[in-house]
Amino acid sequence: MSGQYRGKLGLEGGVSHTKSANQIRQLSLTSLEREMVIGCLLGDGTLSRSGKNYRLRIEHSVKHSEYVTWKYGYLKRICISPVQHVVSHSSLRFGTVGHPQLSLLRHVWYQTAKQIPNGLELTPFIIAIWFMDDGTKHRDTVDISIHSFSRASIEKLQKQLLKFRIDTTVNSDSKGPRLYIRKKSYPNFKKLVSPYIQKCMAYKLP
């Protein structure tokens, strides 16, 4: 959190935040909260150390403020602070509390590098978040950045997408590999994610 936006907490405020954080850590993530976290992990979200646990950090450009607010709406139950405006980055960001279930996700998603864990089941909601984070329009279809994943992880994602009748190939650009949705599969992809696409991200769909 940017120093210029972080309020000064007295002892009472600090104790109150600590108590609230401890209470939140006792909560189990709902299925939608978990799906939001996984969608963010596929995309731009990061899990960073917070005391004994890990917390999720979300940050996007101010031009995507609607998207940040939408994400926060799903995760605010496990957050203490609201969305913060970071002037130096021209961005908006927020973070959850450090949570044991996020720590478990950190363990299975990160070994030497980020990986797709065995048993991951994609949902339309997860796919839409992943696409809004890392997807781009590509002529009459779309592609999604996958440069942070190993070949084995990419193959897991491709197999999961095939369950939704979405066939893909792997192409590369200057930044690394991208998952290209075959044109014949694009109508299926669009139908799948459209209910979740935020207005500020609609430009990514042809």
**Residue 75, domain member (yes or no):** yes
Instruction: Write down which residue in 43, 78, 109 finishes a domain.
Output: 109
pLDDT in tens, 138-166: 889 999 999 889 999 999 999 999 999 99
Is 17:9 a contact under the CB 8 Å cutoff? yes
Which distant-in-sequence residues (6+ apart) come within 8 Å of 191 by Cβ?
none
Q: Which domain, by its residues, includes 134?
A: 124-204
Whether residues 93 and 180 fall in one domain: no
Q: What is the CATH number of the domain that holds 132?
A: 3.10.28.10
In the predicted structure, residue 15 carries a pLDDT above the cut 70: no
Instruction: Write down which residue in 109, 135, 160 finishes a domain.
Output: 109
**Residue 173, domain member (yes or no):** yes
pLDDT in tens, 106-118: 999 987 778 999 9
**Residue 89, domain member (yes or no):** yes
Structure tokens at 176: 């690394």
Distance CA 33, CA 133 (A): 17
Distance CA 139, CA 151 (A): 25
Q: What is the pTM of this model?
A: 0.89
* DSSP tag of 35: H
* Total of domains in the chain: 2
Whether residues 104 and 130 fall in one domain: no
pLDDT in tens, 47-64: 999 989 999 999 999 999
Whether residues 98 and 185 fall in one domain: no
**Per residue, what are the HEC states of 37-73?**
HHHHHHCCCEEEEECCEEEEEEEEEHHHHHHHHHHHH
